[in-house]
Amino acid sequence: MGINTKISNKENAYKATFLLIIIIIVSIILPIFFLQIFPTSTITKTLFSSPWCFLILFGLIVSIYFIFTGVYYFVFEANNYIIEIGSKRTVSSYFSSKSNYIEMPISSIEKFGFFNRPFTFNTILMVKFKVSRRKSIAKRFNFAFLSKKQKDEMISVLQKIIQNNQLNG
């Protein structure tokens, strides 16, 4: 079939995570630090005055949003025999052992679909594959910051695999 694809968003996911950490430090941790250590200083009064308090509110909203939706790092790798798909959160994956990873022969893939989650930067890839003659399983993978080019390449590879599987029947 001539499949040899590797797609990942590792760099973009870690850049977004780094930016999120900077936002949390500047807008939440630093003001709280000044409030606790120097409560009557001019810097503290300035940080908690009218225009600057919106920076704290903005940082809090952005932090809560990304904590709930997550920033996912993904790997999609396919060759003529095996497909590997994995996704995990960039930061919280270090604190939990939950990982979403699968490695399977390409002949077991039956269907796939991409779903966009509303109000997030995440896209879900659902892959349905055969485990035995009678049983199929659907597995979902979260992808953050999936570009149109990456998505089109994945669709092309998965369609080629499914078409080949139907021909070999």
CATH of the domain at 113: 2.30.29.30
- Co-location of 44 and 82 in the same domain: no
With 80 as the cut, is the pLDDT of residue 65 above it? yes
Judgement on whether residues 20 and 51 belong to the same structural domain of the protein: yes
Distance, CA of 51 to chain centre = 33
d(CA 59, CA 27) in angstroms, rounded, equals: 5
pLDDT of residue 105: 93
Mean pLDDT of 106-130: 91
Could you tell me if 86 and 156 lie in one domain?
A: yes
Same domain, 109 and 148: yes
User: The domain containing residue 44 runs over which residues?
Assistant: 13-69
Q: How many CB atoms lie within 10 A of CB 52?
A: 14
Angle, in degrees to the nearest 10, between helices 10-24 and 50-69: 140
The pLDDT of residue 94 is 63
Give the Cβ contact number of residue 62 at 10 Å.
Answer: 16
Question: Are the CB atoms for 48 and 35 separated by under 8 Å?
Answer: yes
DSSP 118: T
Answer yes or no: do 152 and 131 share one domain.
yes
Asked if residue 79 and residue 18 are part of one domain, the reply reads: no
Same domain, 149 and 112: yes
Residues 91 and 46 in one domain: no
| Phi and psi based region of residue 33 (left: phi greater than 0; alpha: psi -120 to 50; beta: remaining) | alpha
d(CA 49, CA 138): 52
13, pLDDT greater than 70: yes
Number of domains in the chain: 2
**Whether 65 and 77 share a structural domain:** no
> Is 96 a residue whose pLDDT tops 80?
no
The phi and psi torsions of 131 (rounded to 5 degrees) equal -105, -30
Q: Indicate if 110 and 43 belong to the same structural domain.
A: no
Q: What is the pLDDT of residue 68?
A: 85
Range with the lowest mean pLDDT among 39-53, 91-105, 153-167? Answer: 91-105
